[in-house]
Structure 1
């Protein structure tokens, strides 16, 4: 009786301790996290944490996910759980400044009307075409709103960046001010070569729709105080006062985007002067040297693999090694500026390299292919025939950096302020440089990335390359906070089965080998049939000898045998993968729990043995 009472008391105590621990965990350890994933995909980066600390007014997050309509969509539901877990992490670390609500926009519900009102995308991928929502809307205290229309699983690497950017935009609603300095005729006007009025370059039109843009020329000596992003296009012959202003702007936390050029082919005045062996290259050397980077303004990139096809004067088509189209293989897929771009077109790129002893962090964004060469600017400018460029080309099996991001520590290019510049204090260094350098300015010209057409009197712009997206992404990225810029591509929570992939590759290799055998046999059959067609026709039918008929029958039998072997290979592939899956299930479902039970039994035996020994020892002591 006493034993039963003791067991009941122990059970009650265990229940009390359990609920006490749960209560303490919720009250004291609710913000504690332990992320054991390889790439810390469930944890926020330092940049995101900094953005959360800087939130002044509360922000409401509304995560819409069609939970009921996606019952059979395992992959999508797993990703939705990933998004919700990350949003919960944001809410936890925001100290009450973020309020998350998870809504299921079922058909004909108020939640669905709310999702439509916010402008979220409804993907018709559910059962019977039912709409599936998986997006987020956010509002701040000023009733401004931002949305992520749909969380694309293909862009999981930038999930944290997109959420942090949305939160930052709502916490800092002021528009981005872009100061643009160039002497190129990007605003359009009368073309001195054709006499016609050219429209403004499309990239400028896009920037003016998104940001506050103020354009200056190279004669300016200072920068506007409200500059958020400084955009330099084909800088040439800048005066010392302007160079000093740019230098100080960079060292005091300013963000700069620079389009340099080894040979600008879109400068109308320069083109009217004829081929220029020198003098049509960008020059920002004093600042580049201080930033730890070198731009080769005397060499132009030739790329045989990335060369674009152009139309010649006689109506033909030829490849121009100096006009290049850079695709995903040449773009950094982990940087938010270039991650989603497909192709960037440009002409006469100059190349960048790090200076020896540079302290800045070097992050290439765009590279050439291995089929590249460098050509003197003077020779390139004097060569009008693309075929001559192809003859002069010699591959050195080396890639060149065509665009790069600079960050980290840097020093001033000036020991003192230039004459005529009144500035009492000079910033001599920084630990937080933020600069993006591009080795071509021609890529901004319409002819390299956008096509214009007239539709009932309205000009329609149709891009065929991502040049405009590149500059927009760069300005948007630089226009954010330093914390936002620091957030790069993160790992993904879904991991591929490497062993399954290995089995697939091996089986597909066997499949291809068998396929080649079958293809060879088919070619032999075609040759035999061709010989049969050349036979004389007797009585309106082909004359086939017994030997020929025997050969055809033998081939048909081989064909059946080979096709059977192909099916066996594919079946073996599925069998190997299924076998591996069964072993994994056995380990997870049976063996792992069994090992855990054995471990617990072992520990129980150890702990039960010790008290018995202690009791025995105490009895012996009592007897003595």
Structure 2
């Protein structure tokens, strides 16, 4: 009876497990529970909004070399992560996204299709096979977008890149960029040389990607079809145009502003002389104050750490504290506009700060180093010698904001509608989308790109990421508000914080001993060098046995110290490796054993209960 009861219970458990599995697959497959810390397997509100705006079906082709990547555990895990995210998009789209998983095996039609889409074939397979890990997408109009290769290093932007691709296909019309500036961005005759200057390189790049229209500061209104508005060195804007900019932003328009404390790339200002240079600044105080922002256009940033080396008048090289190269450490690594950039060069930056009592939400994109100072524009304009600037430098140990993203709530700089406009006056917005940059010189070619003639064609070779920043900013703001809100997410590969802490403790344990041995080694080598130099000076004399013995002892001691030093470093690596082995043992062996013990205990409890029921019946 006992055996029969146990067998029956096991059969019932098997049937129950099978039934629950079928029910889950049939009815609960759309239900998902994301317990990760950063919700990396779930779509953000912005992505769901983009998907909900799809009008015509979109086809997604996820190419991953499944068979060719056998044994590449890390890459396969990331491919599973990407596929899971794509499946989430497909489920949320409710039939408007058709997802197809493709394994482009070597010499197959699928591989030819991947090549036709322009996906990247990475030669990282064990046998030299090409590995594909990319996404191609098409819409009903045969428009095509691709992500050539999903780089695991850019995982935190995975959702942003996929959402951006879907957004482009669901709204394929070109972005219209309106550029307001009196600078000769499109090229023209240089008043100083009389020669024709070409268009600035960043302007050429924008024209290649978007519809670009430039209007002067004296214009009365903005084009109605403006998607992204860019103000470059907005000096003395027409009052009507300033009102139009204000209302454009209040209605949810996207704005990029390049202001400057001292523009050094304006040919008209340079021709007017040094006195005019002190007045060659730009600002939008009326709008900035209404938003809760302040721009210091009366002082120029000096940075001893980020200063660029320039050629001086005497042919030498000196560091110019006013010419700044912003490194990756000073760029926001979590914002898509600056995350992948390495250096941005500029000159005479102005700095931003929040107004007193400001409730403005902002994200600093560029900062100075802590080794910085501020100098008034008039003094800076008269000091052309980099060494003179260095002598006037006074470190204040403070980082300053040089560019920022503004978002959230903002009020209009006006209290009523302009009498010349018939449009409805908007007093505030909760969708402020503005990027402000405290320099205009970073747009000039001399700070980031070199031009050369190659068989009659102009070749541009960038040495900084200034143009990439402008393109990233326009591309980001050219998307929807939902796309802008996504930006970066968390990573699915969480760091081993406990392991890292133990590694630090292990390093600390041996660091003092290592430093002591290194100090003894340095002293021994120094004494040995002195004895050997004395031997060299007295080469013509017979060396005393005591001197030779001392040298031999020092050589032997040096060998022993080096051996002990190697042993200390080896022991450090060994301890870290031992820690890793213990963790592997706990995960691979101990956890399954504990699970088996728990199951055995449950089985024993079931048998005991069945025996008790049998005895009760008897």
Query: Structure 2-normalised TM-score?
Result: 0.93
How big is the shift at 1:5?
6.2
Q: Which runs of 5+ in 2 are unaligned?
A: none
* Corresponding position of 1:498: 500
Alignment of 1:360-375 (within 5 A): 360-375=360-375
Given that residues 6 and 607 in structure 2 are in contact (C-alpha distance below 8 angstroms), is that contact kept between their aligned partners in structure 1? Answer: no
* Corresponding position of 2:442: 443
- Residue 185 (str. 1) matches residue 187 (str. 2): no
- Residue 536 (str. 1) matches residue 539 (str. 2): yes
* Corresponding position of 1:622: none
Q: Distance in 2 between matches of 1:551 and 1:94?
A: 82
Given that residues 236 and 282 in structure 1 are in contact (C-alpha distance below 8 angstroms), is that contact kept between their aligned partners in structure 2? Answer: yes
How big is the shift at 1:520?
4.1
Given that residues 503 and 576 in structure 1 are in contact (C-alpha distance below 8 angstroms), is that contact kept between their aligned partners in structure 2? Answer: no
SS in 2 for 1:64: strand
Q: Distance in 2 between matches of 1:9 and 1:128?
A: 52
Given that residues 134 and 146 in structure 2 are in contact (C-alpha distance below 8 angstroms), is that contact kept between their aligned partners in structure 1? Answer: yes
Using a 3 Å threshold, how does the CA distance of structure 1 residues 52 and 154 change in structure 2: closer, same or farther? same
Q: Could you report, residue by residue, the CA deviation over 1:230-281 in whole angstroms, capped at 9, with x for unpaired residues?
A: 0000001112211111111111110000000011111111221112365311
* Corresponding position of 1:395: 395
- Residue 318 (str. 1) matches residue 321 (str. 2): no
* Corresponding position of 2:110: 111
Given that residues 263 and 277 in structure 2 are in contact (C-alpha distance below 8 angstroms), is that contact kept between their aligned partners in structure 1? Answer: no
- Residue 157 (str. 1) matches residue 159 (str. 2): no
SS in 2 for 1:521: helix
Alignment of 1:453-602 (within 5 A): 453-494=452-493, 495-496=495-496, 497-499=499-501, 501-502=503-504, 505-506=507-508, 509=511, 511=514, 514-537=517-540, 543-600=542-599
Alignment of 1:76-225 (within 5 A): 76-225=75-224
Q: Which runs of 5+ in 1 are unaligned?
A: 620-624
Q: Distance in 1 between matches of 2:52 and 2:515?
A: 56
Q: Distance in 2 between matches of 1:177 and 1:65?
A: 35
Q: Distance in 1 between matches of 2:527 and 2:165?
A: 63
Q: Distance in 2 between matches of 1:220 and 1:281?
A: 20
Using a 3 Å threshold, how does the CA distance of structure 1 residues 517 and 470 change in structure 2: closer, same or farther? farther
Q: Distance in 1 between matches of 2:57 and 2:277?
A: 59
Using a 3 Å threshold, how does the CA distance of structure 1 residues 600 and 247 change in structure 2: closer, same or farther? same
SS in 2 for 1:75: helix
Using a 3 Å threshold, how does the CA distance of structure 1 residues 278 and 568 change in structure 2: closer, same or farther? closer
How big is the shift at 1:309?
1.0
Q: Distance in 2 between matches of 1:304 and 1:504?
A: 37
Q: Distance in 2 between matches of 1:74 and 1:515?
A: 40
* Corresponding position of 2:286: 286
Per mean C-alpha deviation after superposition, the further-off stretch among 202-211 and 146-155 is 146-155
Given that residues 302 and 321 in structure 1 are in contact (C-alpha distance below 8 angstroms), is that contact kept between their aligned partners in structure 2? Answer: yes
SS in 1 for 2:66: coil
How big is the shift at 1:415?
0.9
How big is the shift at 1:503?
5.5
Given that residues 277 and 379 in structure 1 are in contact (C-alpha distance below 8 angstroms), is that contact kept between their aligned partners in structure 2? Answer: no
Q: How many residues align?
A: 613
Given that residues 359 and 408 in structure 1 are in contact (C-alpha distance below 8 angstroms), is that contact kept between their aligned partners in structure 2? Answer: no
Query: Structure 1-normalised TM-score?
Result: 0.92
How big is the shift at 1:86?
1.8
Q: Could you report, residue by residue, the CA deviation over 1:93-140 in whole angstroms, capped at 9, with x for unpaired residues?
A: 222222222222222111211111111111122224322222111111
Q: Could you report, residue by residue, the CA deviation over 1:346-403 in whole angstroms, capped at 9, with x for unpaired residues?
A: 0110000011232331110000000111111121122222222212211110011000
Given that residues 232 and 258 in structure 2 are in contact (C-alpha distance below 8 angstroms), is that contact kept between their aligned partners in structure 1? Answer: yes
